[in-house]
Amino acid sequence: MLKAMIIDGNSVSRGLLNTVLTEGGYEVVAQTHVSHIGYGLMQKYRPQLLCIAREQMEDGEDIVEQIRQQLPKTIIFLVSGAIDAATLQAALARGVQGFIVKPFKADAVLKTIRNTVITTIKKQQSQDG
């Protein structure tokens, strides 16, 4: 079972995403509303997946870059209600690998996570081998 963590300032969104992930077979090991606390929790629990809201990713704490340095194999998903081309490009450049759009649709979220995990693992295997 893959471990996941959620960083989102909206408690309703955190709760909904937690339910989707848990019911989808993921273990949500931690969740918080601010990135600096999230970074500490990432160090403690070392989850394979991180779902981070756009507001927390863009709060000036450079959390994505810090996670990329400390936990390079963690798969990072940007969670946002609107993802335009500029946001997409900026997020990819920072190290985000997947995108989850609000409002959540459980099947779409789980499919996105599964496909991104498979793609990332294949990419890592081809780089390692």
Domain spanning 3-128, CATH architecture: 3-Layer(aba) Sandwich (3.40)
Q: Is the pLDDT of residue 129 over 80?
A: no
Mean pLDDT value across residues 52-69: 92
Contact (CB, 8 A) for 32 and 38: yes
- The predicted-structure confidence for 71-81, as pLDDT tens digits, reads as follows 999 999 999 99
Q: Is the pLDDT of residue 10 over 80?
A: yes
At 124 the pLDDT is 83
Q: Where are the domains of the chain?
A: 3-128
For the chain, percent of residues with pLDDT exceeding 70: 99
